[in-house]
Amino acid sequence: MAIQDIYPTALRLLGRPVLVVGAGPVAARRTKGLLDAGARVTVVAPVACPALTELADAGLLNWEPRPYRPADVDGVWFVQTATGDAAVDARVSADAEAQRIWCVNASDHEASAAWTPAVAVVDDVKIAVNAGGDPRRAMALRDAVATALATGDLPLRRHRLSGTGATPGSVALVGGGPGDTGLITVRGRRLLGQADVVVADRLGPRELLAELAPDVRVVEVGKTPGHHPVPQSEINRILVEEALQGHRVVRLKGGDPYVLGRGGEEAEFCRQHGVEVEVVSGVTSAISVPAAAGIPVTHRGLAKGFSVVTGHEELAEVPARADHTVILLMGVGQLRDSAASLARAGLPLQTPVGIVENGYLPNQRVTIGTLGTIADQAEAAGVANPAVIVIGDVVRVSPFAPSHFKTADYSTTSPNAPRTTKTRVLTP
């Protein structure tokens, strides 16, 4: 049988009688698939493997513990042979052929009237792969396609309404991470591929928007420091309005929706208006962007905890110690005031400070100094948002830190080992 002779289709077997001849492991796998499709299964075999006897004992199928008889094919819609005996399988196949009943002959795929594909299910999409009678090849291809669908590399978006009524809309608050397209979660990428409407921030994995289908609407609601052209109340309204029209809405945000991203407000507003909402955590820039510069927010022997703040007014409430990392988000404009606040609270002026601009992006830049010098350095270099500021001894671990920062015994493996730098670093 050549692959050109195959006409791919799908059978609706719900409530219809089917016959399985044989009761070994192969028959058990095929029977499970038939039961999942809702078929009324009769198994004919003198003995059965444990998997099939369990299904029979549970009343999910009818097992006839005897050899096959030609009359077994009478009145059935579909036949599967899997006896392991080529002669028996051929006889069953011939009897089914005589009655114009489709039959899968597990012993001889070339002579079989039908083939069983390798199958996977992703959401409500069922993938069936035939590969010229090579089951392992078919399974490998099936797995590859299923993975691509699950990760969003292939589109899962619906284009036809199911049933008679309109499908309900939904909102997914997706954390896109710090901007690199490889740092969005698999779940977030998948939901983005299913979206009808994307409500997008200025930050996050913007390159993924170019991969959307042409008819996916992108609503720009990005904010910059001091400039919010679309207020939060309007963003909330857009999410609910689009979902109530039956659309799948993705709110694509930078970082994590629940870390200084106002995702909690958006989720609450959706629920108040009866809209289903899902929150997909993202890689927050507070931790990931320092990591892009080799700065851990905690490190054995240097820091056991950290605080994330957005402005100098909160700094009075965080520990003013070099062994407690302070992370400033959206803090470039208030950097001088923030440094002064920490100094007044008792943090030494020699405490290391690192600023990472455009983390993970091609134009990433790292500026490292001390609490006493960093404001002047940032001003001279023209440091600008988006940037994450890290204050504390953990900055010493960065490969971009100057050599005189390495005097502390911060390494658990090779203390004071020299490190190389690959980016411009401004130091006093």
Distances (CA, A) of 283 to 150, 184, 194, 253, 419: 19, 7, 21, 11, 27
CA-based diameter of the chain, in Å?
94
Torsion (CA) 105, 109, 114, 119 in degrees, nearest 10 = 100
C-alpha span between 156 and 152 (Å, rounded): 7
C-alpha span between 119 and 196 (Å, rounded): 27
Residue 167, Cβ neighbours under 10 Å: how many?
Answer: 13
Active site residues: 201, 223
Apex CA 390: angle with CA 388 and CA 393, to 5°? 165
C-alpha span between 412 and 403 (Å, rounded): 18
Two tokens, residue 211: 């991969």
**390: closest CA among 410, 409, 374?**
374
Burial of 64 (0-12, 13-18, 19+ CB in 10 A): middle
Burial of 143 (0-12, 13-18, 19+ CB in 10 A): middle
Residue 178, Cβ neighbours under 10 Å: how many?
Answer: 30
Two tokens, residue 240: 């609910």
Please identify which residue in the block is written with the tokens 């309109």: 166
Omega cis (within 30) before 229: no
Question: Strand ranges (DSSP E) for 130-201?
Answer: 170-175, 197-200
**Number of continuous H segments (helices) and E segments (strands) in the chain:** 10, 17
How many residues belong to the chain?
428
Torsion (CA) 86, 87, 88, 93 in degrees, nearest 10 = 80
Residue 15, Cβ neighbours under 10 Å: how many?
Answer: 9
Please identify which residue in the block is written with the tokens 């900055």: 395
Q: Are 265 and 377 in contact (CB under 8 A)?
A: no
Pairing type for strands 118-122 and 125-129 reads antiparallel
